[in-house]
């Protein structure tokens, strides 16, 4: 690697996934050029095909009305099965272990109904620090709902003083010391703030050895890292589809429930008709017999229009292949880290782990002399990213639509910005 534009140009020319950028609408800067979009960790770009997929549902609704459930281009009744299968392959799960439904925080609550079963001896929840508050609110309200005191029952996993990332050893120590009192470990697989990717397999194993249930919030993992949920073995996971999975603002969430829990009658669950076994769902009888798969956790029939947006995006992921995407992602982020380290001086440094196995595509850049004018400068020059108070810029080059030239241009503009401030 080197600092020259030639390196970026050559890398783009060699990129087998380069043509995928064409499949997305790239917003335009006021100067008429494409923006440098580094914000796929917040809201992924819109696939051009989403228009067609959604239009198909609208056409079926228009022409078939209720019969669209059976005779639509993608009949609405089994539509969640189609997208569930694709989603399962993207997160490394068996088709029966995944379903797409509701939104993320709703699903975290539903999953905690089944998997947070505190008693007097074991009632704590271990979770990781993050300024993204939804998980904390959900956890705290569940703890209170069960009559426990969040002050004692919530264990927040935090980096050591002066550090940003959390070592496996720290997690190990807490689980070793308090595991007998921990009912649930619920960690963001990729930390929202630092971009650190945790060792899901190892955390799962450590938790299970101590008798804890283990779940992951993969809002920043799904579509970003090459997940192997079935083999890594957590009890459950949930994620949203509007970040790396490009399915549109507020879109549906995915959940994973490991096969070992399917069909368990002893688990609490909040039930709804769409979780009923599909052989008897439309008999509309009074007795609830859940599907013996993740589908048994569904409550409602889902919005077909929203499922179409998810479908459009997942088809692109299947075509590109998660493994290929991850390889390009590692290369892009490594290049970004190289340019930051080699051309910015001391004014900015990366707080995300340097080891490619410990991060996804996001780098969190910390400024030595934080000045929000830098953020305004970047936006003004067509760089879309996000700023986290007090001093961090999160940058996420994504392999489906970002290029090495994007990374090179971003660093050039960032460097100019740092100079004028």
Ligand X SMILES: *Cc1c(COP(=O)(O)O)cnc(C)c1O
Tell me which residues touch ligand X (CB under 6 A).
Answer: 103-105, 130, 132, 134-135, 188, 192, 217, 219-220, 240
Residue placing its CB nearer to ligand X in the complex, 188 or 290: 188
Residue placing its CB nearer to ligand X in the complex, 188 or 296: 188
Residue placing its CB nearer to ligand X in the complex, 134 or 178: 134
Residue placing its CB nearer to ligand X in the complex, 148 or 192: 192
Q: Which helix (H) or strand (E) is 204 found in, with range? A: helix 200-209
Minimum distance from residue 123 beta carbon to ligand X (Å):
23
DSSP, collapsed to helix, strand or coil, labels residue 256 as: strand
Residue with tokens 């996804």: 360
Between strands 363-367 and 392-395, the pairing is: antiparallel
Residue placing its CB nearer to ligand X in the complex, 130 or 276: 130
| Measured distance CA(331)–CA(302) in Å, rounded | 37
The answer to whether the CB of 215 falls within 8 A of the CB of 270 is no
| Measured distance CA(250)–CA(306) in Å, rounded | 9
The answer to whether the CB of 320 falls within 8 A of the CB of 24 is no
Residue placing its CB nearer to ligand X in the complex, 60 or 128: 128
Minimum distance from residue 183 beta carbon to ligand X (Å):
20
Q: Which residues contact 39 (CB under 8 A, 6 or more apart)?
A: 384, 385, 386, 396
**Greatest extent of the chain over all pairs of C-alpha atoms, in Å:** 70
| Measured distance CA(81)–CA(76) in Å, rounded | 10
Minimum distance from residue 54 beta carbon to ligand X (Å):
20
Minimum distance from residue 23 beta carbon to ligand X (Å):
23
3-state secondary structure 5-67: HHHHHHHHHCCCCHHHHHHECCCECCCCCECEECECCCCCCCECHHHHHHHHHHHHHHHHHHH
Minimum distance from residue 107 beta carbon to ligand X (Å):
8
Distances, alpha carbon 237 to alpha carbons 185, 228, 397, in Å: 11, 12, 24
Residue placing its CB nearer to ligand X in the complex, 27 or 250: 250
Residue placing its CB nearer to ligand X in the complex, 71 or 270: 270
The answer to whether the CB of 350 falls within 8 A of the CB of 337 is yes
Residue placing its CB nearer to ligand X in the complex, 192 or 408: 192
The answer to whether the CB of 249 falls within 8 A of the CB of 242 is yes
Minimum distance from residue 388 beta carbon to ligand X (Å):
12
Minimum distance from residue 103 beta carbon to ligand X (Å):
4
Residue placing its CB nearer to ligand X in the complex, 43 or 413: 43
Indicate if the alpha-carbon torsion angle 41, 80, 232, 262 is positive or negative.
Answer: positive
Q: Measuring CA to CA, which residue among 333, 399, 340, 392 is closest to residue 130?
A: 392
Minimum distance from residue 363 beta carbon to ligand X (Å):
16
CA triplet 394, 48, 191: central angle to 5 degrees? Answer: 25
The answer to whether the CB of 240 falls within 8 A of the CB of 103 is yes
Residue placing its CB nearer to ligand X in the complex, 219 or 307: 219
Minimum distance from residue 11 beta carbon to ligand X (Å):
29
Write out the DSSP string of 221-247. TTTTS---HHHH--SEEEEESSSTT--
Minimum distance from residue 186 beta carbon to ligand X (Å):
11
Minimum distance from residue 250 beta carbon to ligand X (Å):
7
């Amino acid at each position: 690697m080197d600092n020259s534009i030639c390196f970026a140009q050559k890398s783009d020319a060699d990129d087998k996934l380069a043509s995928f950028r064409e499949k997305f609408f790239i917003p335009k800067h006021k100067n008429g050029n494409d923006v440098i979009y580094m914000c796929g960790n917040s809201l992924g770009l819109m696939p051009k095909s989403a228009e067609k997929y959604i239009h198909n549902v609208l056409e079926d609704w228009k022409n078939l009305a209720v019969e669209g459930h059976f005779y639509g281009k993608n009949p609405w009744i089994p539509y969640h099965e189609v997208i569930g299968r694709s989603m399962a392959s993207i997160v490394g799960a068996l088709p029966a272990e995944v379903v797409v439904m509701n939104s993320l925080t709703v699903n975290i609550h539903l999953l905690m109904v089944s998997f947070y079963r505190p008693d007097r001896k074991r009632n704590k929840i271990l979770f990781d620090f993050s300024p993204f508050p939804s998980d904390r609110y959900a956890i705290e309200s569940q703890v209170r709902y069960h009559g426990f005191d969040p002050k004692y029952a919530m264990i927040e996993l935090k980096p050591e003083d002066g550090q940003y990332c959390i070592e496996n050893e720290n997690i190990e120590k807490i689980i070793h010391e308090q595991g007998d009192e921990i009912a649930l470990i619920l960690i963001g697989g990729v930390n929202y703030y630092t971009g650190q990717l945790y060792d899901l397999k190892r955390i799962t194993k450590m938790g299970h050895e101590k008798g804890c249930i283990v779940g992951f919030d993969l809002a920043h993992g799904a579509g970003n890292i090459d997940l192997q949920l079935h083999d890594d073995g957590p009890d459950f996971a949930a994620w949203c589809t509007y970040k790396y999975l490009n399915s549109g603002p507020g879109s549906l969430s995915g959940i994973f429930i490991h096969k070992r829990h399917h069909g368990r009658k002893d688990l609490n669950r909040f039930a709804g008709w769409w979780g009923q076994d599909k052989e008897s769902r439309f008999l509309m009888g009074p007795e609830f017999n859940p599907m013996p798969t993740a589908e048994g956790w569904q409550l409602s029939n889902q919005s077909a229009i929203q499922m179409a947006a998810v479908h459009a995006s997942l088809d692109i992921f299947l075509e590109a292949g998660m493994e290929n995407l991850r390889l390009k992602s590692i290369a892009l982020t490594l290049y970004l880290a190289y340019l930051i380290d080699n051309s910015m001086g001391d004014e900015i440094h990366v707080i995300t782990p340097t080891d490619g196995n410990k991060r996804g595509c996001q780098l969190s850049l910390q400024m030595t002399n934080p000045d929000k004018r830098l953020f305004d400068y970047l936006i003004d020059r067509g760089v879309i990213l996000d700023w986290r108070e007090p001093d961090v810029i999160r940058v996420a080059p994504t392999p489906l639509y970002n290029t090495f030239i994007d990374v090179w241009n971003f660093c050039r503009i960032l460097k100019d910005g740092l100079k004028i401030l």
